[in-house]
Amino acid sequence: MATAADDGLSWPRERSRIVRDSLGVGVATGAYGVSFGAVGVAAGLSVAQTCALSLLMFTGASQFALAGVVAAGGAPMSAAATALLLGTRNTLYGLRMAPLLGWTGWRRVAAAQILIDESTAMGVTRDSRRAARVGFLTTGVSIFVLWNAATLVGALAGASLGDPRTYGLDAAVGAAFLALLWPRLHDPANRVVAVAAAGVALGLVPLTPAGVPVLAAGGVALLAGALSRRPDATEIPEPPEPREGTP
């Protein structure tokens, strides 16, 4: 990626550009929290439980997965295991971002709360540590604040509608989760994995408790990823070495 010096930009101008781009990502992503708020209530969670998930879990795909298992009548442990399975990718992000950001102590703990797809992407592509920190923090904090505010709005709106089945909102969980996955299906390999995972899940529905088919489908995806070992699809690009003299 080009440096500020290459573009003729001073650090203040580069920082302003990073903040502008990061806030754009934050607003677009955070607003989607309205969907989770409505979906959480439709799945049978209370407004407080739905908001607590956004506040404490804060990883969209895992939240939708947990709500989906709950909506299907699955056991709490199955729902938690499904959410944990989808959230393991954040551990890999942490391994890459920790040395790049260089935080320790409470700062490192706080950064872990906003370690998501978008904040990682906006930080790992920077050419210096201070630029990576600005991109990571601006994106992560803006999404965290907006996602939680939007979740509350969606949950209150969903609760005011009454029984979600009256309006067909009981199907919202599956629809929202499909919307998250749809952009990834442009790759033929991903479509093959999706069909295989769906086939395994459908085959297990009449044989296992709710939640188990989702876990099994996730296992298919993990197995496919382990066998393919495609760096462009499964690894975060190596960040450039931080320049000397940067904080």
- Position 243 in a domain: no
Give the pLDDT of residue 178: 65
pLDDT of residue 159: 77
Whether 42 is covered by a domain: the verdict is: yes
The number of folded domains in the chain is 2
Range 16-43 average pLDDT: 87
Cα 207 from Cα 233, distance rounded (Å): 33
Same domain for 108 and 18: yes
- Say if CB 71 and CB 43 are below 8 A apart: yes
pLDDT, mean of residues 53-80: 85
Contacts of 143 (CB under 8 A, 6+ apart): 25, 26, 29, 30, 114, 116, 118, 119
Distance CA 40, CA 169 (A): 10
Exposed, middle or buried: residue 231 (CB in 10 Å: 0-12, 13-18, 19+)? exposed
Residue 64 lies in a domain: yes
Residue 234: predicted pLDDT: 41
Q: Which of 63, 65, 43, 64 is nearest to 55 (CA)?
A: 63
pTM to 2 decimal places: 0.68
Of residues 241 and 106, more confidence is placed in 106
For the chain, percent of residues with pLDDT exceeding 90: 26
Mean pLDDT of all residues belonging to the chain:
79
Nearest to 115 by CA among 130, 127, 131, 100: 100
Assess whether 85 and 164 both reside in one domain: yes
Give CA–CA dist 35/28, Å, rounded: 13
Average pLDDT in the 43-49 region? 91
Range of the domain at 224: 187-235
pLDDT band at 169 (very low <50, low <70, confident <90, very high): low
Q: What pLDDT is stored for residue 106 in this prediction?
A: 93
Residue 182 forms part of a structural domain: no
Task: Indicate whether 215 and 94 sit together in one domain.
Answer: no
Q: Indicate whether 73 and 149 sit together in one domain.
A: yes
pLDDT for residue 224:
78
- Give CA–CA dist 104/69, Å, rounded: 36
Give domain status of residue 85, yes or no.
yes
Q: What is the pLDDT of residues 1-10, one digit of tens each?
A: 445 544 556 8
Does residue 176 lie within any of the structural domains? no
Residue 129 lies in a domain: yes
In this predicted structure, the answer to whether residue 232 has a pLDDT above a threshold of 60 is no
Residue 56 has pLDDT above 50, yes or no: yes
**Distance of alpha carbon 102 from alpha carbon 150, whole angstroms:** 31
